[in-house]
Structure 1
């Protein structure tokens, strides 16, 4: 263990200014703020690099793990200053330690969560890092398909990560889920039912009540049809459904969705079908909901451009909020990012916390896509 790691073990109390002074001295001496316990152990063993699994138990991990259970408010402020110094010297917010936990995970596990100054600082660091990475991505040339795969074959890519691959994948409807047949990726699952009911309620909360026929709504991504079934219970004037996967479209036709009064099925990617509506300029929505598979937050940023052109002034936009939901701290980071991005479009986002009555079961699904006990339901309207 290096002198930096020993300092951050917080062996003596109180945690006061002397810790900050010594931390600055050690970092100025050249010890990296990212110097891990694993690197220190390898150095002591005469090795150039750590052996075994790749862990990154950083100074920040040691600091938050070493916090006393009875840490005082003043000591917390001192620790916050120490975190600031470490971030200033290049510490990362999302490295995973020997237990596979990030700094935010450790604070969360210790019940230091939203509203705690240390947890909030980690979330702030996460937001800054994600926005910086996005900006760097915009400045970097994007790789071609051939560069990504080596041979240009979309079939070699992950259906959960690449939409072209997904749209060419076989799907399977089970009793409780829609999955990709080969990889068992969960496209949609029935544990989302309560979330879809809540989303439907939001869609009809702010509609044009002066209309004799009812609101005009749009759902992007049919999947298992859960939210669309709930929408039909409210008898909207028009119910647009955007869906791109051929197997899902075939299922919709088989179940009679094409023949339902007021239902308009927009076949193809929403990027094409909604852009056509926007160009035509004769359809506007009281509510828009978005829940697709194999798309990313960059796709949502493009969607925001479309939403502001198609949403009525009193309308509402919402989406299935699984952004960063593999870890609570990442989930909190993306909530802040969504709020910031939507503000740039003149939209205000409010999140309603919902305790999940049915926790997801990932049996027969390759990997989980939601690992939080609380779901944050978004309602987005013009500010």
Structure 2
């Protein structure tokens, strides 16, 4: 097994085509593409627990691919990565440093390499395949069955120094990630008390960031996009209707209302936010229509009525996931005017850049299936969002009073979707 891991460390230069043949031999011999150095370590030390971290061959390739790799060597490495992915290598497994293979390439400044795009493409395929599997309630059989150590045992090396043993305890589910956490479960979120601050809306007890003022520039982009849908053949539509799903701090809704559309619809479900809307006088604004409740119910009513259509639709909710957005797309195509624009706060996977880019391409694919073309504008996010939370008086991080950051990407991909034939 040491040969497999050493092969992925590129100790010999140049990286030759023989490496592909050797890798194929190991994989065809039954060694899983996800077999890790931690599993090898546990075997050599007679540790029966499953390791907590997963440093796979793909992690090793991304860690050791030469900075000065030439074109011929790059082709070899691409073939190795392709083969590992074909044999089930995990594109988003994390290692002892909580890094995916793509994260390692980004940290090393090697995002330009073709293998980075291979990893992103693998993420897209995995997401699309997972949806199909879920549709038919199929059981997925893992490809990480036990390695035949009787056959390969003599080759398993001591991979980690004894003075720093690997953590082998079973991973615990953090409350932040539990299925019933407010950030993961909408029913739980709607029952959670919220608190408005000067620069944020947070869950009162947990201090989860629901919305924050650093998003203001991103909201302005969204507002501007919505009103692009009010122009028809160079002329302004006589009846401009705009829908925003998720009021939050009211940042984008304030911007929308300043543009004085014919009708400004706001869909909001959380009782504390609805109270904020009432206290701030939104119910009394003559051109504002408040839709109280979940958008799944409210938009269904609008669609059934058949007499309300929008120049712009914006979506920005909390505790919902991408599968919820896929359901939203059904309503968007039914409620959007032919020249209208759909946009949303694009925080999909934004706590990890490689996943953020996977979702960017997924959105393009999925919206195209609905007859919508999505184009993205890249803008830099405020530097304060990239500062780690330290909690000191001189800290410049926006996350200091927030439970944890929900953003770590240097660039924001602002989406703007229109019907393809417009």
Question: What does 1:289-328 correspond to in 2, within 5 Å?
Answer: 289-328=314-353
List alignment gaps of at least 5 residues for structure 1: 142-154
Q: Where does 1:172-211 land on structure 2 (aligned, <5 Å)?
A: 172-208=195-231, 210=235
**Hey, what does 1:148 align to over in structure 2?**
none
Map 1:290-369 onto structure 2 (within 5 A): 290-360=315-385, 361-369=398-406
1:131 equivalenced with 2:128 (yes/no): yes
Q: 1:373 to 1:161 in 2, by over 3 A?
A: same
Residues 1:120 and 2:117 aligned together:
yes
1:319-369 CA deviation, whole Å, 9 max, x = no partner? 000001110000000011111111110010111111013532212222221
Determine helix, strand or coil for the equivalent of 1:131: helix
Instruction: Point out 4+ residue stretches in structure 1 off by more than 4 angstroms.
Output: 209-214
Matched residues in 1 for 2:383 and 2:241: separation? 31
The Cα of 1:156 is off from its aligned counterpart by 9.1
**Using the alignment, how far apart are the partners of 2:345 and 2:236 within structure 1?**
28
Q: Which runs of 5+ in 2 are unaligned?
A: 139-177, 386-397
Q: Pairwise mapping of residues 58-73 of structure 1 onto structure 2 (< 5 A)? A: 58-73=56-71
Deviation at 1:216, TM superposition (A): 0.9
The answer to which of 285-294 and 20-29 deviates more is 20-29
State the partner residue of 1:152. Answer: none
Aligned to 2:247: 222
Q: Secondary structure at the match of 1:82?
A: helix
> Residues 138-153 of structure 1 correspond to what in structure 2 (within 5 A)?
138-140=135-137
Contact 1:191 1:358 in 2 (8 A): no
Pick which of 15-24 and 364-373 moved more: 364-373
Pair 1:268 & 2:313 matched: no
For each residue in 1:36-75, what CA deviation from the matched residue of structure 2 results, as whole angstroms up to 9, or x when unmatched?
Answer: 1111112222333466xx1100011111111111100111
Query: Which residue number in structure 1 is paired with residue 256 of structure 2?
Result: 231
Per-residue CA deviation, residues 95-140 of structure 1 (Å, 9 max, x unaligned), is: 1112111000011112222x53110000001111111222222222
2:184 paired with 1:158: no
Deviates more, 1:307-316 or 1:178-187: 178-187
TM superposition shift of 1:30: 2.1
C-alpha separation between the residues in 2 aligned to 1:273 and 1:37? 52
TM-superposition CA deviations, 1:222-266 (whole Å, max 9, x none): 000000011112111110000111111111111011111211111
Pairwise mapping of residues 74-113 of structure 1 onto structure 2 (< 5 A)?
74-113=72-111
1:15 aligns with 2:15: yes
Could you tell me which of 366, 371, 375 is aligned with 2:408?
371
Q: What is the root-mean-square deviation in Å for CA atoms of aligned residues? A: 1.7
Structure 1 window deviating more from structure 2 (337-346 vs 212-221): it is 212-221
- Quote the offset at 1:18 in angstroms: 0.7
Label 1:214 to 1:363 Cα distance change in 2 as closer, same or farther (>3 A): farther
Q: Cα offset for 1:304?
A: 0.2
TM-score normalised to structure 1 length: 0.92
